[in-house]
Amino acid sequence: MSDLMLSFDSAINAEGAPQRCVVIEKNKASKPPDYTIPRNDNSVRAYSKRNRIYVLRDFLLRNFPASLTPRSTILDVAGGRGDLSWILRNIDGIDAIIADPRVPNHRSLLKSVTFLVDHPEEANVRAVEGLPTYQPLAKLLPRILANSAASAAARGTGQRSDDQDLRIFSPKFMRIHVDNTLVEALRKFLSSSGSAVDLRDWDAYWQAERCKVESNKVYYGGTLPTKNTTGTIIDGEGCGQIAGARMALRAFQSLDLIVGFHPDQATEATIDLALLLKVPFAVVPCCVFPKEFPGRTLNGQRVRAHNELVEYLCRKHDKIRTEKLPFVETDTAKNVVLYMLKEDFEMQWLNSRHDEVE
């Protein structure tokens, strides 16, 4: 890792704001390892945990092809470290915005990519499915290389003939709580005429939210570093952050898909937001938090268990579908995904128009 030189390189996004990326340059001096990932056939849970986000990616690509294009914008609610958004951006070339009050941290993925790039033989071993050593990122590494080359070509910068430089982009993010306050602020604006007064109301909400989250200096995984001990530069606060009220409003209005993977307290608000915006969504609920949401009831009883939460959420719209994702379920990692497709909203609109005619 010490033989890898990483530096920031600026790019320009569609709104003219700087978007940062990491350029990984390999000098072939790093010694290849004499080991692979330790085999542990009994660690089914650990194996599942490593691969869950890739299982969700496969589900999204399979079910939302129209919403996952290079021109699409995805909202990754309570994305935490931002792994899903990072994967969509650097493997699939899809823009995703992390919506989380904490600052995202891509250090682990950057470390993995630099290792795989520097040790291609090890990457080949880890790319074989069905083995305990399987690492989805290793199998997808050629996609990262291809997107890196395409990005360099699009910017006219070219890429070295030996294809050793790798451009890794950090996804955009907004530091925000996805909660009922956000949903109601958007509902109020969308139901208004969009006048200057209405925009001031949205600005006031955004400023209050910014003040709340800016007091939180927590960087996902610890305090905010500028450089780790291996020499990998970590993106800081200004890298791709959506901080302005109007920019955030435009982002919400341009969404093509909303995703929440174990979004905790943001689970219900994520679905409410998608229903308000009439945007396809996929949400994997996990913890219930009955004390924080005493108003959730099902058949007259408070919602306390995961299966009750799923049923409660499904009752928000008769077109909400469910499916089990193929990873090991635990008490703290549920695998039921709730989702609606674009055609589900279109069918609702057609039905409403039919009722008006009658």
Which of 178, 195, 171 is CA-nearest to residue 277? Answer: 178
What pLDDT, on the 0 to 100 scale, is given for residue 79? 86
Alpha-carbon distances of 10 from 149, 322, 336, 338, rounded to whole Å: 16, 41, 39, 37
pLDDT digits (tens, 9 = 90+) for 107-147: 889 999 999 999 999 999 999 988 888 999 999 999 998 88
Comparing CA positions, the residue from 95, 113, 114 lying closest to residue 171 is: 95
Residues of the chain with pLDDT under 50: 1-20, 28-30, 32, 34-42, 158-163, 222-238, 350, 353-358
Tell me how far the alpha carbon of residue 330 is from its chain's centroid: 22
Q: What pLDDT does 54 receive?
A: 94
Which two structure tokens, joined as six digits, stand for 335?
Answer: 């695998």
Report the run of H or E that residue 99 belongs to, with start and end: strand 95-99
CA dist., res. 126 & res. 37, Å (int)? 8
Our CA angle for 36, 61, 45, nearest 5°, is: 40
Of 352, 88, 111, nearest to 233 by C-alpha is 111
pTM: 0.81
CA geometry: angle 246, 247, 248, nearest 5 deg = 90
Kindly list the distances between the CA atom of residue 203 and the CA atoms of 185, 186, 207, 247, 248, in Å, as whole numbers in the listed order.
10, 11, 6, 11, 10
What share of residues in the chain are helix, strand, coil (percent, to 5)? 40, 20, 40
Q: Which two tokens stand for residue 172?
A: 């955009």
DSSP conformational letter for 82: T
CA nearest 91: which of 9, 33, 169, 165? 169
What's phi and psi for 260, nearest 5 deg?
A: -140, 110
Q: What are the backbone dihedrals phi and psi of residue 330, each rounded to the nearest 5 degrees, phi first?
A: -130, 180
Question: What sections of 215-305 are H helices per DSSP?
Answer: 245-253, 267-277
CA distances from 351 to 187, 191, 354 (A): 22, 21, 5
Give residue 157's pLDDT. 52
pLDDT tens, position by position, 293-333 = 999 999 999 999 999 999 999 999 999 999 999 887 777 67
